[in-house]
A and B are shown apart, each in its own frame.
Chain A
Amino acid sequence: MAAIVLTCLAGVTTLAKGDEITSKEQLKEPGRRIGCGIGSSAMLFVEDEFPEAILVYQEANEGYESVAQGKIDAYAYDRRQMQLAIDSGRKGVRLLDENLEEKVHVAVGISPKSKIHQLQEQLNTFIELSKADGTIDEMYDRWVVQGNEEMPDIPRYKDSNTILVVGTSGIVPPHSYYRGQELNGFDIELAYRFAAYIDADVTFKVYDYSSIIPAAASGDVDCIMANLNITPERAEALPFSEDIYTEDVGLMVRDTSSVGEGFIKSLKMSFEKTFIREDRWRLFVNGILTTLLITVLSVIAGTALGFVVFLACKDGNPAANAITRVCMWLVCGMPAVVLIMILYYIVFGNISVNGIFVSVLAFTLIFGSSVFGLLKMGVGAVDVGQYEAAYALGYSRQHTFFKIILPQALPHVMEAYKSGIVELIKATAIVGYIAVQDLTKIGDIVRSRTYEAFFPLIAIAVIYFLLEAFIGLFISRIHISILPEKRGRDHILRGIDTHDKD
């Protein structure tokens, strides 16, 4: 239902007649809204050339959608990229003939903490050589101009002592994107070639542009090959190699002449592009598994953590209570995305750790705090007379807690526990920030290939709903099974002869 409403809205705005933009001059009027990537070269150029414009920060795929829907007047970006999007079927947009005056300089960002010996010098030499023998031109022609997607055979050093860790975006065809389950593109080939040049094995880590620079700065990767523009700010944070090439910055505006296809047909096409083509459903399956893995592990570990901490605090140990209060204050006081980035880039900044591990750790802390709070609430709701009756009979403190108090506390909080888990599933959507490819991140990756904002988003929303329903059902089962009233007579009187004659 929601899907249909959204589509209709999108359709209406696409067909609505706004004023047609035909030249850069029009965009210089005050109040024009121009989109660009945050911190990108395009942003700086737009600030120079259109001082009266309002800047809107969006990544490319969202930018195209906004232009098509008339939410922004233009989007400034790598001209070839945008042309490629239009060639691949992006409707409702077109390019202005004029470009921005300055060109983008694309280079490799280098981590100052890389352990590879003289990485910058080696890279510069490699780029000079590759330019001189025409390799760079040939690669550029093949990937960008001709749109050939085949990765040539480049010798790999599988068992080398040196491993080159390359940070890339995975969402910018034809430079760095997923073809099926494999990373592909100009930057990927460049990485293979450079690794071969220094006799190193190569691995990739995929980041959002917003976190890719910190990843290199903290030493999480050796270098960034992600069609990365050099801007003065980025150059302050990181050393860069020589330019690999330069690109024109074009302007995408709304094209009111193109007419949308039939709804059902376009839905079918979207489905085919999103799930079927290149077996992209496999990406979704992996994303779902990653999301589930993080959620399930965090729920188990968080529940255990909440319990252990509660047991340590329940008898009023002042040290345990003080530590718990401080930790809860820290964990609950900051947004999950900040916590997870602090853990990944600062706490474990110098240690190589798996992003999934950090995600599970962060969500274990978050979920543990909420389990602690729930237990406190549930146990607090049990009448003090229950303790007294048990103590008076001679039950020990532990025995009283587990046999008498807990069974009465749990049913109170199961409903809240269930919604806590649903919250957790949704909250895991931020792990893309630390290079974990969960369901949401997979959505981004696929959107970058299909040039569609709408369909993959809805698809992901539906998948989240299904996951939540599934887990909710599972917890409801547990809930019912721990309700004391649900036990049958046979269970209560197990192993007992009641001497009934009937």
Chain B
Amino acid sequence: MIRIEHLKKEYPNTTPLKDVSTVINDGDVISVIGPSGTGKSTLLRSINMLEVPTSGHIWIDDVEITDPKCDLEQVRNRMGMVFQSFNLFGHMTVIENVMSPPIDLLGMDRQRAYDEGMRLLRAVGLSDKALNYPDELSGGQKQRIAIARTLAMDPDIILMDEPTSALDPTMVGEVQAVIRELAKTGKTLIIVTHEMRFAKSICNRVFFMDEGGIYEDGTPQQIFDAPVGEKTRRFVRGLKVLELDIQNTIYDFLGMQTAIEEYCVKNQMPYRMAKHIHLTFEETVQQNLIAEYEKPDIHVTIEYSEEEETAVYTLDYSGKKYDILSEGNELSVSVLKTTAGDPRYEWDETRKYQNRLVMNIL
């Protein structure tokens, strides 16, 4: 069991982990996902103290590894790690890479380490490469050897830091197959990954990381199919988001048009859709809301799914009840009908923004 309490990691100019607390049970297979720069690798590397946390505590079973007096080497013997860049020992042959750690660190006799090493190499399909050097292997082969090296120590916990990210797409499959087998062995497995479909298929638990911690923790079904958090939903659906705020009748209209332009170009939106977003923004905000409210407070959200090629335009604004499509000027309404469809207007007095208009960009 791994218990993490109030873990914080600070660097001079960034704080990837603000306050993380969680418990990981024996046999859990956990995928850690999230946008880049949200501390996924930092969390993983803190669990074996390759990163020394700024504050907080981590226990592996009953041993507090964040305690300076802790015998880290002994804890690490029972905890394997697979790296994005493989990190095989370049001066050793494949079989030495696999058999040296148990000989050096567990005092295993050479014959047994060799037999066990060859068994693992057969398991990852590379027993014929035993006497090759890492330089002579492909990326996928190297990563399979790295997994075999980790398994040779017979660890209880295995940490994998983006194990397939540095691989050619053609080699991802062979490594994933090995990890898939590993997930069935009952060892605790924590994988940082970008391959969400793969993550969904092997794990029993997912950490979605954002905002300096574990933003959402749940089963794959919850995280991928029915996410609770807004950011989780956007991430798992691959949504690209643009948010704009307008709090004055004199606002930087051209600046906002430019921001929309950049957002559309960056996400390679179809030209038609980009034009429609511009028009929708102009007709709703500029032509109607600014004219209607003396003190406007408007929040615009545009969500674009590249995969589905759909964009959702959401307009939140506070103040009196006002439905643009039924009460706004006629010219605008007729333009909006050509740029956005399926409009849904809601009024809810209890919200910060009482008015909400959601439309799908055509």
Query: Do residues A392 and B111 form an inter-chain contact, with CB atoms below 8 A?
Result: no
Say whether, besides A389-B87, A395-B105, A492 and B95 are in contact (CB < 8 Å): yes
Query: Do residues B104 and A392 form an inter-chain contact, with CB atoms below 8 A?
Result: no
Query: Do residues B111 and A496 form an inter-chain contact, with CB atoms below 8 A?
Result: yes
A410 closest partner in B (C-beta): B91
Query: Do residues A386 and B89 form an inter-chain contact, with CB atoms below 8 A?
Result: yes
| 8 Å CB interface, B101-129 against A | 101, 104-105, 110-111, 114
Query: Do residues B90 and A386 form an inter-chain contact, with CB atoms below 8 A?
Result: yes
Q: Is A113 an interface residue when CB atoms closer than 8 A count as contact?
A: no
How far apart are the CA atoms of A185 and B258 in the complex, in Å?
100
| 8 Å CB interface, B57-77 against A | 72-77
- Convert B36-57 into 0s and 1s, putting 1 for each residue whose CB lies closer than 8 angstroms to a CB of A: 0000000000001010000000
Chain A facing B: main interface SS? helix
B81 to chain A, nearest CB (A): 4
Query: Do residues A493 and B92 form an inter-chain contact, with CB atoms below 8 A?
Result: no
Q: What B residues does A489 contact at CB under 8 A?
A: 131
- Convert B90-102 into 0s and 1s, putting 1 for each residue whose CB lies closer than 8 angstroms to a CB of A: 1111011000110
- Convert A388-403 into 0s and 1s, putting 1 for each residue whose CB lies closer than 8 angstroms to a CB of B: 1111111110010001
Q: What A residues does B131 contact at CB under 8 A?
A: 489, 492
How far apart are the CA atoms of A467 and B159 in the complex, in Å?
55
Other-chain contact of A395, B48, B73, B86, B110 (Cβ < 8 Å): B73
Most buried by B among A386, A389, A495, A498: A389
Most buried by B among A390, A394, A407: A394
A66 to chain B, nearest CB (A): 57
Query: Do residues A392 and B73 form an inter-chain contact, with CB atoms below 8 A?
Result: no
- Convert B289-316 into 0s and 1s, putting 1 for each residue whose CB lies closer than 8 angstroms to a CB of A: 0000000000000000000000000000
Say whether, besides A388-B83, A404-B89, A489-B131, A393 and B77 are in contact (CB < 8 Å): yes
A457 to chain B, nearest CB (A): 46
How far apart are the CA atoms of A394 and B76 in the complex, in Å?
5
Q: What A residues does B87 contact at CB under 8 A?
A: 383, 385-386, 388-389
Q: Is A497 an interface residue when CB atoms closer than 8 A count as contact?
A: yes
Most buried by A among B72, B105, B149: B105
Q: Is B15 an interface residue when CB atoms closer than 8 A count as contact?
A: no
Q: What A residues does B93 contact at CB under 8 A?
A: 492
Query: Do residues A396 and B73 form an inter-chain contact, with CB atoms below 8 A?
Result: yes
Q: Is A370 an interface residue when CB atoms closer than 8 A count as contact?
A: no
Q: Is B263 an interface residue when CB atoms closer than 8 A count as contact?
A: no
Q: Is B353 an interface residue when CB atoms closer than 8 A count as contact?
A: no
Q: Is B345 an interface residue when CB atoms closer than 8 A count as contact?
A: no
A144 to chain B, nearest CB (A): 69
Query: Do residues B104 and A389 form an inter-chain contact, with CB atoms below 8 A?
Result: no
Q: Is A408 an interface residue when CB atoms closer than 8 A count as contact?
A: yes
Q: What B residues does A497 contact at CB under 8 A?
A: 111
A388 closest partner in B (C-beta): B50
Query: Do residues A385 and B77 form an inter-chain contact, with CB atoms below 8 A?
Result: no
Say whether, besides A394-B77, A489-B131, A496-B111, A389 and B105 are in contact (CB < 8 Å): no
A479 to chain B, nearest CB (A): 14
Q: What A residues does B72 contact at CB under 8 A?
A: 394
| 8 Å CB interface, A446-499 against B | 484-485, 489, 492-498
A389 closest partner in B (C-beta): B87
Query: Do residues A385 and B92 form an inter-chain contact, with CB atoms below 8 A?
Result: no
Q: What A residues does B77 contact at CB under 8 A?
A: 393-394
Q: Is B235 an interface residue when CB atoms closer than 8 A count as contact?
A: no
Query: Do residues A391 and B50 form an inter-chain contact, with CB atoms below 8 A?
Result: yes
B153 closest partner in A (C-beta): A393
Query: Do residues B50 and A392 form an inter-chain contact, with CB atoms below 8 A?
Result: yes
Q: Is B80 an interface residue when CB atoms closer than 8 A count as contact?
A: yes
B165 to chain A, nearest CB (A): 14
How far apart are the CA atoms of A399 and B89 in the complex, in Å?
14
Query: Do residues B74 and A389 form an inter-chain contact, with CB atoms below 8 A?
Result: no
How far apart are the CA atoms of A497 and B114 in the complex, in Å?
9
Say whether, besides A403-B104, A407-B91, A495-B111, A392 and B96 are in contact (CB < 8 Å): no
Query: Do residues B114 and A393 form an inter-chain contact, with CB atoms below 8 A?
Result: no
A239 to chain B, nearest CB (A): 66
Query: Do residues B48 and A392 form an inter-chain contact, with CB atoms below 8 A?
Result: yes
How far apart are the CA atoms of A390 and B90 in the complex, in Å?
12
Most buried by B among A383, A393, A489: A393
Query: Do residues A399 and B92 form an inter-chain contact, with CB atoms below 8 A?
Result: no
Q: Is B85 an interface residue when CB atoms closer than 8 A count as contact?
A: yes
15 CB contacts below 8 A, A to B, read A383-B87, A388-B50, A392-B50, A393-B101, A394-B74, A394-B153, A404-B89, A408-B91, A492-B95, A492-B131, A493-B95, A495-B110, A495-B111, A497-B111, A498-B114
Given A385-B86, A392-B81, 8 further pairs, Cβ under 8 A: A386-B87, A388-B83, A391-B50, A392-B80, A393-B81, A395-B101, A404-B89, A492-B95
B: residues with CB less than 8 A from A are 48, 50, 72-77, 79-81, 83, 85-93, 95-96, 100-101, 104-105, 110-111, 114, 131, 133, 146, 149-150, 153, 159
List the 4 closest A-B pairs by CB distance, nearest first.
A389-B87, A394-B76, A392-B81, A385-B87
